[in-house]
């Protein structure tokens, strides 16, 4: 039996010791779910009991927040901090954490971090600020490393504050970068674009011929971030797949890039080691299950079917399926929560780094979320926007095709109209409607994606999947290929 399998035995014992099922039942979130399936949780124990429970989802979280009081939902009298999701499905989900939730496995997380970090490192984190959970990550790094006697310095900023932070970054020279892959290359783009102007202004202020010559040279030869941030050695990249961006980022920044996996709702983070052969999921404060693809297919044919799962400690190499998490949070635990990420088991044997934890690869989503890095939104929201009335026409059907232009996602919208008065005005009206959606507006204005065109077509041939569900978003093959910069 491997060390990881023994760890899962301890997690099963923890299920019983904490009476997780019985505690969770006190929340209206789980009480309604389980009573609807006529499940008596009083006698459920261990992994066998866990397998009998229905799955929970983001839709369930949104529903209870709309229909019930906070007191009916949470399991503690007080909460340490609240975080929320990005609202990619429309309404934001608020998640409570207690002080103990935050400090669970603090030392263990610190030990993982020191596989990569040095006591004198300076981390530059470009993340969405509060109330998003990503904004808390630098503080958790500070606490986790500090608990081991070496608090790691953090320079924290939101994406829209990078330019204002430049003077500090230049003087302090960070050694570690943390952000999304697409945001890193967006930053590289800004550095190449603005360096000539910055040097020119400096030359004029100081009367420096050397700086003036440098400003002219940088107009001809693109400046890479590694020429500006000369001490960078590693980068942690999250929220989207690192694979297409890795080579470009390492070339631009001169660092070793590591893939990180996390989500707002709870524990369950995964990380890439120096072997760069999949994500390790140590399951420090959670239990992970995989719904195999064959079980997902059965569910598509019969929505009332409860798919069977495998514990992460039971999986074999090559298995593909959807990730499910159960954690032990005090305020509101996740019990069989479907993350909606599709994964593949890369390996289950020992890794060169010494860990015997199975290694996973994130393949994509099993739901309708369009992931463009910092920017995420649901096809449901797009459909709602496009189904409203327009003055210049009526939309019968639509499809979005996502490819790439350089490193940026490129969106093309194809419209099958029922009727059109003025084609150009209709297209402008459609774009204005999309632009009214705040997430789309932020991404467009920040140049995080390219909106290529709106094209009217006579007939769309849309793929039908599952229970007659129309697939409205299609990814072009080049979207998944290595990006150029």
User: Is 350 in contact with 324 (CB distance < 8 Å)?
Assistant: no
Q: Can you give the pLDDT at residue 134?
A: 65
Architecture of domain 370-480: 2-Layer Sandwich (3.30)
DSSP output for 50-62: HHTSPPB-HHHHH
* Domain boundaries along the sequence of the chain: 3-104+267-367, 106-258, 370-480
Please state the CATH superfamily assignment of the domain spanning residues 3-104+267-367 in this structure: ANL, N-terminal domain (3.40.50.12780)
CATH of domain 106-258: 3.40.50.12780
pLDDT on residue 216: 47
Half-sphere exposure of 401 (CA within 13 A, CB side): 16
Tell me: the pLDDT tens digits for 181-204?
988 998 888 888 776 565 455 545
| Distance from C-alpha of 152 to C-alpha of 118, rounded to nearest angstrom | 8
| pTM for this prediction | 0.81
User: Is the Cα dihedral 225, 248, 447, 179 positive or negative?
Assistant: negative
Q: Is the dihedral of CA 34, 68, 439, 423 positive or negative?
A: positive
- Angle at 172 (CA atoms; ends 167, 177), nearest 5 degrees: 95
Phi, psi values for residue 220, rounded to 5°: -90, -45
pLDDT tens across 103-151, in order? 876 777 788 888 899 999 999 988 766 666 666 777 778 888 888 888 9
Predicted pLDDT of residue 230: 93
What is the arithmetic mean of pLDDT over 246-260? Answer: 95
Residue 127's pLDDT is what?
78
Q: What is the largest CA-CA distance in the chain?
A: 81
Q: Which residues contact 334 (CB under 8 A, 6 or more apart)?
A: 56, 265, 266, 286, 325, 326, 327
Give the pLDDT confidence score for residue 87 in this predicted structure: 58
What burial class does residue 347 get, using C-beta atoms within 10 Å of its C-beta: 0-12 exposed, 13-18 middle, 19+ buried?
middle
Q: Is the pLDDT of residue 286 over 70?
A: yes
Q: Is residue 35 pLDDT above 90, yes or no?
A: yes
In the chain, the percentage of residues whose pLDDT exceeds 90 is 44
- Identify the CA nearest to 271 among candidates 448, 83, 137: 137
Give residue 121's pLDDT.
94
pLDDT digits (tens, 9 = 90+) for 403-452: 999 889 999 999 999 999 999 999 999 999 999 998 899 889 888 899 98
Same fold, 3-104+267-367 and 106-258: yes
Please write the tens of the pLDDT for every residue from 104-113: 767 777 888 8
Q: Which burial class, exposed, middle or buried, applies to 253 when counting CB atoms under 10 A from its CB (0-12, 13-18, 19+)?
A: buried
Q: Which pLDDT band, with edges at 50, 70 and 90, does 464 fall under?
A: low
Mean pLDDT of 55-72: 90
Mean pLDDT over 313-336 rounds to: 94
Q: What is the mean pLDDT of residues 156-178?
A: 85
pLDDT band of residue 89 (cuts 50, 70, 90) is low
Q: Are 56 and 366 in contact (CB under 8 A)?
A: no
> What distance in Å separates the CA atoms of residue 73 and residue 95, rounded to the nearest whole number?
10
Report, as an integer, the average pLDDT of 210-214. Answer: 47
Q: How far apart are CA 141 and CA 262, in angstroms?
A: 14
pLDDT of residue 211: 43
DSSP line for 355-397: --S-EEEEEEESSSEEEETTEEEEHHHHHHHHHS--SSEEEEE
d(CA 139, CA 106): 12
Q: 163, 114, 165: which is closest to 141 by C-alpha?
A: 114
Task: Say yes or no to pLDDT of 227 above 60.
Answer: yes
For 442: left if phi > 0, alpha if psi spans -120 to 50, otherwise beta; the answer is: alpha
411, 435, 451, 461 from 445: Cα distances, Å:
14, 10, 11, 31
């Amino acid at each position: 039996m491997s060390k990881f399998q023994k760890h899962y035995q301890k997690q099963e014992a923890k299920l019983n010791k904490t009476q997780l099922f019985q505690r969770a039942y006190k929340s209206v979130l789980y009480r309604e779910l389980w009573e609807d399936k006529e499940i008596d949780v009083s006698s459920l124990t261990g992994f066998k009991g866990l397998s009998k429970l229905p799955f929970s989802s983001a839709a369930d979280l949104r529903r209870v927040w709309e229909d019930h009081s906070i007191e009916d939902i949470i399991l503690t009298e007080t909460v340490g901090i609240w975080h929320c999701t990005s609202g990619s499905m429309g309404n934001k989900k608020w998640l409570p954490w207690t002080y103990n939730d935050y400090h669970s496995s603090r030392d263990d997380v610190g030990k993982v971090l020191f596989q990569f970090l040095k006591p004198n490192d300076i981390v530059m984190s470009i993340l969405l600020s509060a109330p998003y959970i990503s904004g808390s990550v630098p503080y958790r790094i500070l606490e986790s490393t500090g608990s081991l006697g070496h608090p790691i310095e953090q320079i924290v900023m939101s994406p829209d504050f990078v330019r204002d932070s430049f003077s500090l970054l230049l003087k302090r020279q960070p050694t570690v970068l943390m952000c999304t892959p697409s945001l890193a290359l967006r930053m590289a783009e800004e550095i190449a674009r603005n360096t000539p102007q910055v040097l020119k202004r400096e030359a004029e202020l100081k009367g420096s011929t050397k700086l003036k010559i440098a400003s002219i040279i940088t107009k001809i030869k693109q400046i890479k971030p590694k020429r500006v941030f000369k001490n960078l050695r590693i980068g942690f990249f999250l929220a989207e797949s690192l694979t297409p961006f890795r080579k470009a980022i390492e070339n631009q920044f001169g660092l070793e890039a590591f893939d990180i996996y996390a989500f707002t709702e709870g524990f369950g983070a995964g990380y890439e080691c120096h072997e760069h052969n999949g994500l390790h999921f140590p399951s420090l404060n959670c239990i992970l299950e995989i719904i195999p693809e064959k079980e997902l297919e059965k569910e598509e044919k019969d929505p009332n079917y409860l798919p069977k799962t495998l514990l992460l400690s039971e999986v074999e190499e090559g298995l593909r399926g959807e990730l499910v998490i159960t954690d032990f949070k005090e305020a509101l635990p996740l019990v069989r929560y479907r993350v909606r990420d599709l994964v593949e088991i890369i390996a289950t044997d020992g890794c060169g780094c010494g860990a015997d934890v199975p290694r996973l690869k994130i393949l994509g989503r099993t739901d309708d979320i369009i992931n463009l890095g910092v920017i995420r939104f649901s096809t449901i929201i797009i459909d709602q926007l496009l189904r409203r009335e327009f003055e210049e026409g009526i939309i019968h059907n639509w499809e979005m095709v996502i490819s790439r232009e350089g490193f940026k996602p490129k969106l093309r919208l194809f419209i099958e109209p029922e009727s059109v008065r003025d084609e150009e005005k209709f297209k402008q009206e459609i774009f204005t409607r999309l632009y009214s959606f705040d997430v789309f507006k932020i991404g467009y204005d920040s140049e995080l994606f390219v909106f290529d065109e709106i094209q009217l077509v006579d007939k769309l041939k849309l793929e039908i999947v599952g229970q007659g569900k129309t697939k409205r978003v299609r990814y072009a093959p080049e979207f998944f290929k290595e990006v150029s910069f």
